[in-house]
Amino acid sequence: MKCNLKILLLSLGLFVCSVSTISNVNAHNTNQTSPKKSLSVEQNVLIKAATKQVKEKEFKAFFNSKYDYWDARVLADYWGQSVSEAKARMGRKILWGKSDVAILEQFLVDARIQALQKVQGSNPSLEMYSNSGYNYNDAEKLAKLWGESSPWEAKIRIEKNLILGQREVIEQALQAR
C-alpha cells in the first residue's frame, strides 16, 4: 500500500509536469508572446480526484492506527495546523513506513512536552479539557478520587492526561466512583 501511494504521487507529479511542458511547447509554437495555457477542465478534475483519493488514504491510515483525536489535537497545535490537517499528515507518515512513524512518534513526544509546559503556567487555558466533554461534576469527583485540593486541580490533571494520550485513565477513574 505504501508503494501504491508513492507510485500514485509520482505519477501525479509526472503528469502535472508533462502537461505543463506540453502547454509551454504549444504556447511557444503558436504565439511566443501569449501567456501560458492553463490546465484543461478534465486535467483539473483528474488532479482533484487524485488528491481526494490520496487524502482518503491518509485519513483511513490515521483512523486505522493507534492514534486518536487527542494525539492529532496535540500535534495540530504543535504544527500550527487544523486537527483535520494533522490527521492527514499523521496518516501520510504512517503510509510512508516505519521510519516515518518513528519520526511521528518523536514529533508527538515534542508536542506533548510543549503542551505540558503551557499547562504549568499560573493560569492555563485548559483548551483540551474544555473540548473534552468532561464537566465540573466530573472534575469534582476526580478531585476527591485523586486527592486533589480542588476541582480546578483535577481539571489541570485531566488536561495533562489528555495531552499524554491517557483518556482511559480518566475514564477508569470516573467508573471507579
Cβ atoms within 10 Å, residue 94: 22
What are 101-126's pLDDT values in tens digits? Answer: 999 999 999 999 999 999 987 888 89
For the entire predicted model, the pTM comes to 0.70
Among 6-10, 36-40, 81-85, 151-155, which stretch is predicted with the lowest mean pLDDT?
6-10
> pLDDT tens, 16-69?
555 454 555 454 555 455 455 688 888 888 888 888 898 999 999 999 999 999
Distance of CA 74 to the CA centre of its chain: 9
Tens digit of each residue's pLDDT (9 = 90 or more) over 65-106: 999 999 999 999 999 999 999 999 999 999 999 999 999 999
Q: Which residue has the cell 504556447?
A: 27
- How far apart (Å, rounded) are the C-alpha atoms in residues 94 and 72? 13
Asked if residue 129 lies in contact with residue 155, where contact means CB atoms within 8 angstroms, the answer is yes
pLDDT for residue 49? 87
Specify the higher pLDDT residue, 163 or 38.
163
Question: Which single residue is written with the C-alpha cell 518513528?
Answer: 102
Phi, psi of 25 (to 5 degrees): -65, -45
- Measured CA to CA in angstroms, residue 11 lies from 17, 88, 177 at distances of 10, 20, 57
Residues 6 or more apart from 17 whose CB is under 8 A from it? none
